Amino acid sequence: MFTNIVLIVLIIIVAIAIVYYVIKNKKEATVEAKVELDNKTYTLDMMKEFVKRRLDEITKINLYDIGLSEEELKRRKNKKYELKKALKGCTYGDVNDKKYVKELIYDLLAKEYNVNETNISKAIPFDIPSLLTPQDKFDILLFMYKKEFGYEALTEFIKKYDLARLKYISGETKPCYVITPEEISEIYEKENPILSFDEKLQVVVQRIYQHYKGYSSIDEIRDMNIDGVSGGVSGLPESFLSQVAQTDGDYLTQIMDNKVPRACDSIWIFFQGKSIRLAFLSFNTESELKRVCQNIYKYNNPGQLSDTNGYKINEMKDGSRVVVVRPSMSETWAFFVRKFDVKRATLEQLIRFKGKEETIELLKFLVKGARIIALTGEQGCGKTTMLMGMIENIYETMNIRVQETAFELHLRKIYPTRNILSFRETDTVSGQEGLDLQKKTDGSVNIIGEVATDPVAAWMIQAAQVASKFTLFTHHAKTFPNLVMALRNSLLKTGIFNDEKTAEEQVVGVLNFNIHLVKDFRGRRYIERITECIPVEDKNDYTFDYRKEKTLEGKLEKFMDNATTFFTKMTNREVYRYVNVLEFHEDEYVLTNKISDANIKEMRNNMDEADAEAFDKFIERNWGKSKTKKTK
């Protein structure tokens, strides 16, 4: 009997132990499953999918099926319309629409997805710096700087740590402009930013937004007040990888290990005249670079970017110029965004070296004197910005007409009360037609954003002769003779003239001054020279001395003298000469040759009394008294 009781007790104890062990294992498995679920639930990818699904539901819901009151229905319809508009506008570079969408994403994550202080670190490990990627660190740093400096954040960040300097990096034998992941990590360690939960969530929201509706890794950078940003312009194209795989397995391994940058790892900024590679940022995949290229140019429906039409030039909502190219026209997908800071486009802010006071005065007098001026220089040297600064000095009584490939000057934003109208080329209206139209719009001053084609160059010469008071334009010529030659060749190519000398005479008869800008190796931008074009008059120096000769030999000799003069004029005659009025020497602007009397006289005639008097003093101060006087 006792034995049976003992056995029963043992069996009960074993059963309890088994049940306890099973329950314990189930609890541990449940906890592990919950942890794994949390880890997956609060990743950036999962949160992005949730946001996409919820916003899709909000914009597509049929409000008439949910029995709302009339007032509530109207309110919800307005909210739905506003969201749709913002979702479309934020892809065009509209910062207000972007802010609206981000605020909505913030609310969705905080109120519906239950993101809190604990699980937010599953998305970005804010509390463990060693686990943060260089992009995470940069996003956090830029967010903190943006809170203090707004859209000057990136400029302040780069200046504070002198990141825009030439440096050597491993594997390179020559210095380059690059910001490395190591530099970002060092700066993050120095700054050691401490974020509140609200700030952490804002960083997460920005990361989700940029991969959903934004421009990926360049989204916040594009909004900053810098000169521009580009992508897909370095690294190995995808098409190259398949070729490498067949020939060099080791090299392919290096590429896959991210030791060799790919095209999708290419992000560059244009900062104060320097092209700087952001080695710590990447689009990560070719498809993400492609997505950015396909969205960034879409403002105002410029047409489809396709294999047959492999490029698009357009503007963004904030006035930035964007150029996008794609295969097979280019070897990779690539984009170029150029920004023009209209607030800083004044001569006082653009011209900074010693001697700037006299240089600024000279430029103002050239514009007020209604001189036809060509601004020349390489890409990125500041021609368009300088043009903006000069336009400020055009008399307000003059109507301004602008012709551009894409809207860049945005003069009406700077001068909203002035009579200004800009035209641009479209798929159906050429630049030539736009320029022809300007003749019928009461314009006093023609401004041509870029003389890039032969028809536009030819029209510019014609318009400068008869259609307007004066003309300002930009060109890519390197020297003054190159400028004259390029414009002359355009007149010949368009068939307006057949004789080189005649065409050249037309050009130099129109062109008054050339302002040549330079961007040097250190990224400094300055005026290298201001050149005056002086047409050479063709004097009638033939003689009739043959009449005085008595012999045939004497008459023939005098005739040959005239023939020699004729052929010299036809072959080697000098149509123009040019002199530099201002030059840049040893970091200083120096006034050199005096402006010709003919130009001084015409400039005075186009100025009001006060400016004419100031101009006289300027001439006397720098070159002595002038013999010419202002004609009434």
Q: What's the mean pLDDT when you consider all of the chain?
A: 84
Between 464 and 381, name the one with better pLDDT.
Answer: 381
Compute the average pLDDT of residues 453-467: 78
Confidence of residue 206 (pLDDT cuts 50, 70, 90): very high
Is the pLDDT at 319 greater than 60? The verdict is yes
Query: One-letter amino acid identity for 400?
Result: I
pLDDT of amino acid 8? 73
Is the pLDDT at 35 greater than 60? The verdict is no
Sequence-distant (≥ 6) Cβ neighbours of residue 542 within 8 angstroms: 562, 565, 566
Between 23 and 126, name the one with better pLDDT.
Answer: 126
pLDDT of amino acid 366? 94
**What are the tens digits of pLDDT across the range 388-425?**
889 889 998 899 988 887 777 778 888 888 899 988 87
- Give the strand pairing for 400-404 and 420-424: parallel
Query: Percent of the chain scored above 70 by pLDDT?
Result: 87
Question: Environment class of residue 227 by beta-carbon count within 10 Å: exposed (0-12), middle (13-18) or buried (19+)?
Answer: buried
**What are the tens digits of pLDDT across the range 575-602?**
788 999 999 998 899 999 999 999 999 9
Compute the average pLDDT of residues 500-527: 87
pLDDT of amino acid 590? 94
Separation between Cα atoms, residue 410 and residue 420, nearest integer Å? 10
Compute the average pLDDT of residues 175-180: 91
Find, among 379, 387, 361, the residue nearest to 445 by Cα.
387
pLDDT of amino acid 38? 54
Sequence-distant (≥ 6) Cβ neighbours of residue 17 within 8 angstroms: none
Confidence of residue 166 (pLDDT cuts 50, 70, 90): confident
Q: What is the dotted CATH code of the domain comprising 353-538+575-593?
A: 3.40.50.300
pLDDT of amino acid 294? 93
Q: Domain extents for the chain?
A: 1-35, 126-342, 353-538+575-593, 539-572
Whether residue 203 contacts residue 138, with contact meaning beta carbons closer than 8 Å, is answered with: no
Compute the average pLDDT of residues 129-158: 94
State if pTM tops 0.85: no
Compute the average pLDDT of residues 52-71: 81
Instruction: Identify the architecture of domain 126-342 in CATH.
Output: 2-Layer Sandwich (3.30)
Compute the average pLDDT of residues 225-247: 77
Confidence of residue 538 (pLDDT cuts 50, 70, 90): low
Separation between Cα atoms, residue 183 and residue 134, nearest integer Å? 9
**Do you know the residue count of the chain?**
632
Separation between Cα atoms, residue 274 and residue 521, nearest integer Å? 8
Tokens of 305: 């970017």
